[in-house]
Structure 1
């Protein structure tokens, strides 16, 4: 009898599998046990939790807070990133190039103003910046109102001092009463937030009741 090979780690998880992951986490099962149940490589389960559960860094070590994993949010994130990966970049046409150059050089509009203020322009702020930097337009950074200074570089988040880290740890979710962990009573909610792409500046907050899973 040949041993059945686990499903490829590149195969997308089904929603029913994400439900199983959550239920087995609540039952105290390990990642290896979950992988065997789903006939998946263990790395698939680990990567799924790294992407969709909160990860805490304490004294240089990362710990996945498995109890924060929610299958509904995980499925939505997967759908979003899949659609984003298949979304082709808008092509620059002579007409679009002429229109953007006009607003940049003659009207002295910023890429933000063009992306959000020109009807049917069909490009986002970041794309316009990329076209300027890649010299797909005749306009340059010097034609921008702020000479391109609005494009901020990412900055590393400062590390919390020791006393603040200790304060956060004392309020950890691990210290909540057992009555919340066993999902026996109604009224305990978990909150999570999902940010949309940068240019839309939208934010979705979800509330999930632990006992009924009402969201």
Structure 2
């Protein structure tokens, strides 16, 4: 019986009764796949869209041609037609009429008059589901040891690239967090991940062990070879959160100072390794307010003596 079926399925008897009444065949009886097709065919409830025709569509079309935004149209129409309930449209309805071209919506040339000039809706990206930048797993800056945060122990570095005209050339920049000591990486031909890795290894391997504790970088593609760098230098690599340059504040500040020597919109490939060493030496002999007017070279020497 229907009540026995309802007990087995954990449904109300009336649910079973309605299903049989609506979707069973008069001749064959109840066939589940045929019943599903019948229900699916009955599901659509087609109706005309609000902006398919009429005075409301004409109003929206005129305002879009005047380069009004959908939000402006949605709110202004209430002021102009306060007593006409038919002259109402939401911002989202206007956007759908613009972007859903295949369903009798507004013309493509009207969409082109939008402020952004798009004829398709731009998908929103969820920051919690970002595409992985690297194949190898990244270690978050949240896992960086406390000694790096309080700048008490030397050997924790921040790194980045400064780029030249059209991003065709670059210089690697390294800043030691405790002393603000600067080291520049010469990238002669390009700044691919392999070139950056080799340049960093060549620079870092010259440092004493006490100055090779960690490196913090942003999520730029140039550091996709971070695992092989770590193996070559025995130096942990930590990555900042996406879009958080302040987590490498010392490096960002130093990059600003370096622009005095390497202006934006200029080619950086003309500078030799000797040029970079000279600039780094000059910065390391410049007194800093954050160091009590010590120079980075003096502060690093004092820290190395203590450790």
Question: Which structure would you say has the larger Rg?
Answer: 2
TM-score w.r.t. length of structure 1: 0.31
TM-score w.r.t. length of structure 2: 0.23
Q: Which has the higher contact order (CA 8 A, sep 6+)?
A: 2
